[in-house]
């Protein structure tokens, strides 16, 4: 134990002697939280709309007014030419072309279904699906109002209406920042633990100082533990900084146990650091480690569920995610912070993280060779 403490002390001195790492440890969480949380969002605002109104009736103008009054649409262009509208769509100057054919208002008045043609820029499939959903929502509301008006005119009485009251749990105002911040915290901790820890070890190989450790009677697990502990503590400090910034800058709610969140982060960091040190045992230079490290980190983050739900991924991707520690912490952070989940609710994820941590750390210890 005494040997490990001396080695940990040596690691801290070595880490903070490097000016770049010292600045990155505290600058990265601040920049990442203040920029990424408000910037990374799948919400769509101000969908650029081009209108082709060949009907020019109160019914068509009423729907156009509904679209303009929505917070999602902005009518930028209005033209009678379909060719001109398609050119605007092809040039990326509008996102949606909505055509009102002649006779649209007459069909509605006579009780027939009114026809519309919507052309959506679907280069970005997610944006196209959201745009279509928003458009359907506005049209559905407008359609319901027309039905009520027609019934009132024909019968002189209001139609029976089913009143539906909905409530969104865990994020009642549908604030996208509440959903993204727990994910950004995971990316922050991953970057600090995975990249810096591996680079630190490979740098010692390049400089040659690791040979001084290799000629001592220090055991392999002493060396690996000493390499992990400083970055484990730094990662937890950065997590705390990120949570404080999230509360002060974005008023992010925290419903669960802070101790449980940090326990989960500790298991996660052990797993990530174990993998980082395992990869660094194969790497001779920092460039080699960065190439492999960024490849693994990008795969882990993109398949973690930070941007797309795990349930929407194909079966083979969900099976691969069984060994993805980022996916487990991503789920734990959101459950603990937003839902107030207890240790019983996330026990499966904690067990999985513990197993992954043991496996990766064991691989790092077994792969490390004292060559001198």
Q: What is the 3-state secondary structure (H, E, C) of 259-310?
A: HHHHHHHHHHHHHHHHHHHHHHCCCCCHHHHHHHHHHHHHHHHHCCCCCCCH
Read off the pTM: 0.80
Residue 333 has pLDDT above 50, yes or no: yes
Q: 38 Cβ partners below 8 Å, 6+ apart? A: 177, 250
DSSP state of 47: E
pLDDT number for residue 371: 58
Q: Which has the higher per-residue pLDDT, 71 or 64?
A: 64
pLDDT in tens, 111-144: 788 889 999 988 877 788 888 888 988 888 888 8
Residue 307: predicted pLDDT:
77
CA separation for the pair 221, 4 (Å, rounded) = 9
Mean pLDDT, rounded, for 47-67 = 91
Task: Map residue 215 onto helix, strand or coil.
Answer: coil
Contact, 134 vs 44, CB < 8 A? yes
Task: Find the mean pLDDT for residues 345-360.
Answer: 94
Is residue 170 within 8 A of residue 339, CB to CB? The reply is yes
- Mean pLDDT on 284-307: 88
pLDDT higher at 161 or 64: 64
- % pLDDT > 90, the chain: 30
Q: Where are the domains of the chain?
A: 2-40+176-367, 47-155
Average pLDDT, the chain: 85
More confident call, 372 vs 208: 208
**Cβ–Cβ under 8 Å, residues 59 and 113:** no
Task: With residue 48 as reference, give the H or E element that holds it.
Answer: strand 47-53
Give how far Cα 243 sits from Cα of 39, 125, 246, 325, Å.
17, 32, 5, 20
Mean pLDDT (whole number) for 339-345: 92
The answer to whether the beta carbons of residues 325 and 315 sit under 8 Å apart is no
| 174 dihedral zone (left: phi>0; alpha: psi -120 to 50; beta) | left
The structure tokens listed for 163 are 């009143």
Superfamily of domain 47-155: abc type-2 transporter like domain (3.40.1710.10)
Q: Model confidence over 34-56: pLDDT tens digits?
A: 887 877 766 777 899 999 999 89
Q: What is the pLDDT of residues 210-228, one digit of tens each?
A: 777 777 777 888 888 888 9
Residue 95 Cα to chain centre, angstroms? 24
Q: What pLDDT, on the 0 to 100 scale, is given for residue 372? A: 47
In the three-class reduction of DSSP (H, G, I as helix; E, B as strand; rest coil), residue 95 is classed as: coil
Whether 361 contacts 336, CB under 8 Å: no
Q: What is the pLDDT of residues 230-280, one digit of tens each?
A: 999 999 998 998 899 888 888 888 999 999 999 999 999 999 999 999 998
Q: Is the pLDDT of residue 370 over 70?
A: no
The secondary structure of residue 120, as a DSSP letter, is E
Tell me how many degrees the CA angle 262-312-314 measures, rounded to the nearest 5: 105
Q: Is 57 exposed, middle or buried (0-12, 13-18, 19+ CB in 10 A)?
A: middle
The model's pLDDT over 145-199, given as tens digits with 9 standing for 90+, comes to 877 776 555 555 555 555 556 677 887 777 888 888 898 899 888 988 888 888 8
| Residues 174, 164: Cα–Cα separation, whole Å | 18
Tell me what percent of the residues of the chain surpass a pLDDT of 70: 94
Q: What pLDDT, on a 0 to 100 scale, did the predictor assign at position 188? A: 87
Q: Which two tokens stand for residue 255?
A: 């419903």
Mean pLDDT of 87-91: 89
Res 12 pLDDT > 70: yes
Q: Which of 293, 28, 307 is nearest to 182 (CA)?
A: 307
pLDDT at 232: 93
* Distance (Å, whole) CA 238 – CA 240: 5
Pairwise CA distance, residues 324 & 271, whole Å:
10
- Which residues on adjacent β-strands are paired with residue 74? 48
Return the closest-CA partner of residue 181 out of 264, 259, 258, 254. 254
Does the pLDDT value for residue 99 go beyond 90?
Answer: yes
Three-state SS string over 170-211 comes to CCCCCCHHHHHHHHHHHHHHHHHHHHHHHHHHHHHHHHCCHH
CA distances from 346 to 255, 324, 340 (A): 15, 16, 11
Determine the pLDDT at residue 161.
Answer: 52
Q: What's the confidence (pLDDT) of residue 152?
A: 54
């Amino acid at each position: 134990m005494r040997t490990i403490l001396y080695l940990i002390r040596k690691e801290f001195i070595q880490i903070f002697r490097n000016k770049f790492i010292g600045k990155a440890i505290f600058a990265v969480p601040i920049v990442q939280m203040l920029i990424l949380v408000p910037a990374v969002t799948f919400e769509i605002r101000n969908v650029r709309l081009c209108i082709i109104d060949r009907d020019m009736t109160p019914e068509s103008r009423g729907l156009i007014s509904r679209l303009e009054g929505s917070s999602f649409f902005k009518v930028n262009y209005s033209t009678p030419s379909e060719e001109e509208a398609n050119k605007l769509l092809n040039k990326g100057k509008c996102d949606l072309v909505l055509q009102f054919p002649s006779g649209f208002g007459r069909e509605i008045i006579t009780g027939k279904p009114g026809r519309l043609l919507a052309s959506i820029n679907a280069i970005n499939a997610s944006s196209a699906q959201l745009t279509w959903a928003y458009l359907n929502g506005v049209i559905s509301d407008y359609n319901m109002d027309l039905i009520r008006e027609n019934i009132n005119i024909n019968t002189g009485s209001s139609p029976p209406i089913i009143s539906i009251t909905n409530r969104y749990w865990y994020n009642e105002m549908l604030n996208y920042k509440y959903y993204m911040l727990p994910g950004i915290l995971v990316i922050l901790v991953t970057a600090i633990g995975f990249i810096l820890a591996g680079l630190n070890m490979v740098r010692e190989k390049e400089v040659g100082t690791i040979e001084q450790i290799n000629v001592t009677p220090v055991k392999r697990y002493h060396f690996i533990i000493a390499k992990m502990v400083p970055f484990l503590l730094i990662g937890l400090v950065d997590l705390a900084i990120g949570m404080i910034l999230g509360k002060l800058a974005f008023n992010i709610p925290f419903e669960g146990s802070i101790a449980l969140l940090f326990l989960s982060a500790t298991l996660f960091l052990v797993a990530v650091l174990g993998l980082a040190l395992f990869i660094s045992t194969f790497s001779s230079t920092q460039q080699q480690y960065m190439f492999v490290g960024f490849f693994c980190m990008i795969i882990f983050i993109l398949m973690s569920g930070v941007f797309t739900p795990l349930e929407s991924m194909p079966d083979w991707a969900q099976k691969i995610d069984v060994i993805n520690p980022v996916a487990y912490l991503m789920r734990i952070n959101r459950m603990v912070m937003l839902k107030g989940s207890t240790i019983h609710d996330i026990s499966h994820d904690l067990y999985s993280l513990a197993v992954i941590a043991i496996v990766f750390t064991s691989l790092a210890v077994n792969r490390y060779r004292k060559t001198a």
